[in-house]
A and B are shown apart, each in its own frame.
Chain A
Amino acid sequence: MLRTASRTVGALAAAAFGATLLWAGPALAAQGAGADQSAVDAQSGADQTAVDAQAGADQAASADAPVDIRSSQIALSRDEARLQLELAGGQVFTLAVREGQAYLDGTSLGRAARSGALDRAWRELLEQAMDTPNADLAALLEVWDAPSSDGVGDRLDRALEAALRGQTPAAALANIAGTAGLDPAAQGSDSVARLLDRINELESTVEKLEDRRVSVEARAASRGGRSRGPFHNVGEAFEGIIGLLVTMAIVVGIGFATIFFGGRKYLEGVADTARRMTVRSLLVGIAGSFLVLPAFFLGIIALVISIVGIPGLLVWVPGFPLAVAVAILLGYLGVAHAAGEAMAEYRFRGSEWFHRANSYYFLVSGVGLLMSMFFAAMVAHMAGRLLSFIFGLLMFFGCALTWAALSVGLGAVLISRGGTRPLGREPVADEGLFSEDGNV
């Protein structure tokens, strides 16, 4: 960007030099080509202009009807109101009121104050033109009359009419300059002054950009030289995936330890409750999570008030949060177990169920399922800003799923008294599985 701005400044300086030689729109095309070349081009441009002007005048005289408009482009913003027409003959006209000036193909026609009569009338015309089909556009543009407070509006109007008569932009410019009695030298000096202003403006932009670059570099340096390259997101996503895998390993490890050291029936009790009474577990879990803090503080107050219970604070204060944490963890593992079991039921048929279905498998697959949104989010994060919304959405769903699992789990732990009294499981008598009727 800096380079582009610098190049533009150079080109404008060359153009300013060319423009002092002779004021004529096409002569400005000699921008940046060197003084000699500028002079030659300017001369040939002037000759061409005269020829075009003659041709244009002839054409205007011979054809009164407006030519067909092949395409149009209209831009309206705070600083600019621009109309670009491509005519049936292939000519392209650009008429604009921009930053207080009226332009025909980049050549100033004079001052058109912002929010002045001409500016407003031109904008109104373009707003109407935006809603008008090409077939009717020529008629709309032709009947437009500029406010006659000064000559600029008149020049713009005549430029527009010249365009609609099929003249070339150069011919239209020559016509306007000739009939308006403009002093080319004065116009030339005016153009040069504006170009110099523009050069100053661009130079200040370059300075600002330089300052910004310095500050960005300083910021980058203060961050330890870390740059956000194209693979930055990929790196971050891999970090995230590794973090998730570690978290998953820890959770699964705790679950395995629980199963291995005899906690299987409690885990299955919670899982059964969560699976068969999901909504009730969720509601109890939500209520429980809201009541955790009040219960904790009420317990403290009760122990303090009872005076004899004060030593009990030594157990209550660390024990209650620990018990809640264990309940939440057991609940989450229970829900993961239930999810894994549901998934296995769907996937495995017949004897495969007996070969592969076990609590360890349920736990791994369930935890993976519950964390799948986070993994998917990290994959989306690799694409950077392109999929940032999807990343956000997946993270949101992941968080929502985790919250739901934690709430259902906590509720299931509370309902089943830590898995000791699972609800929803069909009671099976010990002798029911292996006993047979003895009527043989």
Chain B
Amino acid sequence: MFDRRLIVALAVLLALPAAASAQDWRTLSASRSVDGDTLLRVEVEYAAGRFEVKPGEPGTLYRTSMRYDDDLFDPVAAFDSGLLKLGVGGGNVRGRDVKSGYLRAAFSPDVPLELDLAFGAVEAELELGGLRILEAHIATGASRTLLNVSEPNPETAERVVFEIGAAQFEAVGLGNLNARRIEVSGGVGDVTLDFRGAPRLDTSVSVKMGLGALTLRVPRGLGVRVVKDGFLAGFDSEGLVKRGDAFYSTDWESAAHKLTVDIHAAFGSIKVVWVD
């Protein structure tokens, strides 16, 4: 089985330049103006390439642009009754240049959003700062994802879910997300959750990790409570005090906002890093 895979891999490598040059690239862009919309639900399924999300200009409900291999993928860019479906699906990406493809999406800063993003072998940059996030479900496959919340979310995100496959995932500024509950489930990978920002409410975080490294970057002044249930997972609890089954920051009782983290990890390492 391995020999055959090796031969296939070598053949793919040799055929890659020829295949890449033969690809028929297509660019599809779509945009829509705000027309009394009160909610935008977004569903994205993106298999391979580069994926970017950012806030758009006021008055425009969404603005997307995608570049894809026309021979390989079927594009989806459909809007109906407040639901925007985006993505490219189908096709066997073996031996094809998929890195040159992209999907860029900008959403209205004025209309509340429910995001459901799923992507595979993708390099993703998601800027959620400036958007009104009500709910987000982000599922990544084998990808590298940088999620940034550079500005406070004017809405309250009731539930934010990150499903991380074999990936490098970094979420920065989660304090700005104003999320009541964050759920993270990771397979194999390197996950960094940065809780800097301007939190307006207490946040509960649940992390389920298979194999990998989890880093929690916590700003000083935020009350932190960590409950860890791990199997062969090391825990670097610097700056935390153990009381009962949980680890607490020294200012837990007096902190204006509190972060509760429940971690279930099988293998790997868990690290808490304090940041200013």
Residues of A within 8 A of B (CB): 68-80, 86, 130, 133-135, 343, 346, 385, 389-390, 393-394, 397, 399
**Within the complex, what minimum Cβ distance (angstroms) separates B138 from chain A?**
17
Give every chain B residue within 8 A of A390 (Cβ-Cβ): 141-142, 165-166, 187
Contact check, B26 vs A77: say whether CB atoms are below 8 A apart.
yes
The 4 closest A-B pairs by CB, nearest first: A77-B26, A71-B32, A130-B29, A73-B30
**Within the complex, what minimum Cβ distance (angstroms) separates B69 from chain A?**
10
- CA A86 – CA B31 in complex, angstroms? 10
- CA A343 – CA B188 in complex, angstroms? 20
- CA A346 – CA B63 in complex, angstroms? 53
Give every chain A residue within 8 A of B26 (Cβ-Cβ): 75-78, 80
Q: Which residue of B lies closest to A342 (CB)?
A: B232
Contact check, B33 vs A135: say whether CB atoms are below 8 A apart.
yes
- CA A80 – CA B24 in complex, angstroms? 11
Given A133-B57, A346-B231, the answer on whether A393 and B166 have CB atoms closer than 8 Å is: yes
Give every chain A residue within 8 A of B35 (Cβ-Cβ): 70
Instruction: Pick the contact of A134: B32, B166, B231 (CB < 8 A).
Output: B32
- CA A312 – CA B25 in complex, angstroms? 67
- B35-91 with Cβ < 8 A to chain A: 35, 57, 59-60, 63, 65, 70, 77, 79
Give every chain A residue within 8 A of B92 (Cβ-Cβ): 385
Give the tally of cross-chain contacts (CB within 8 A).
76
Contact check, B28 vs A73: say whether CB atoms are below 8 A apart.
yes
Residues of B within 8 A of A (CB): 2, 24-33, 35, 57, 59-60, 63, 65, 70, 77, 79, 92, 120-121, 141-142, 165-166, 187-188, 231-232
- CA A403 – CA B214 in complex, angstroms? 26
**Within the complex, what minimum Cβ distance (angstroms) separates A433 from chain B?**
30
Contact check, B77 vs A73: say whether CB atoms are below 8 A apart.
yes
- CA A68 – CA B34 in complex, angstroms? 12
Contact check, B187 vs A77: say whether CB atoms are below 8 A apart.
no
Q: Which residue of A lies closest to B25 (CB)?
A: A77
Contact check, A343 vs B232: say whether CB atoms are below 8 A apart.
yes
Given A78-B24, A134-B60, the answer on whether A393 and B30 have CB atoms closer than 8 Å is: no
A-B pairs with beta carbons under 8 Å apart, 30 shown = A68-B33, A70-B35, A71-B30, A71-B31, A71-B32, A71-B33, A71-B79, A72-B31, A72-B32, A75-B27, A76-B28, A77-B25, A77-B26, A77-B27, A79-B24, A86-B32, A130-B27, A134-B31, A134-B32, A134-B59, A134-B60, A135-B59, A343-B232, A389-B120, A389-B142, A389-B166, A390-B141, A390-B166, A390-B187, A397-B188
Contact check, B60 vs A75: say whether CB atoms are below 8 A apart.
no
**Within the complex, what minimum Cβ distance (angstroms) separates A66 from chain B?**
14
Give every chain A residue within 8 A of B187 (Cβ-Cβ): 390
Give every chain B residue within 8 A of A346 (Cβ-Cβ): 231-232
Give every chain B residue within 8 A of A134 (Cβ-Cβ): 31-33, 59-60
Contact check, A133 vs B141: say whether CB atoms are below 8 A apart.
no
Contact check, A130 vs B141: say whether CB atoms are below 8 A apart.
no
Give every chain B residue within 8 A of A397 (Cβ-Cβ): 188
- CA A133 – CA B65 in complex, angstroms? 12
Q: Which residue of A lies closest to B68 (CB)?
A: A77
**Within the complex, what minimum Cβ distance (angstroms) separates A373 from chain B?**
9
Given A78-B24, A390-B187, the answer on whether A73 and B60 have CB atoms closer than 8 Å is: no
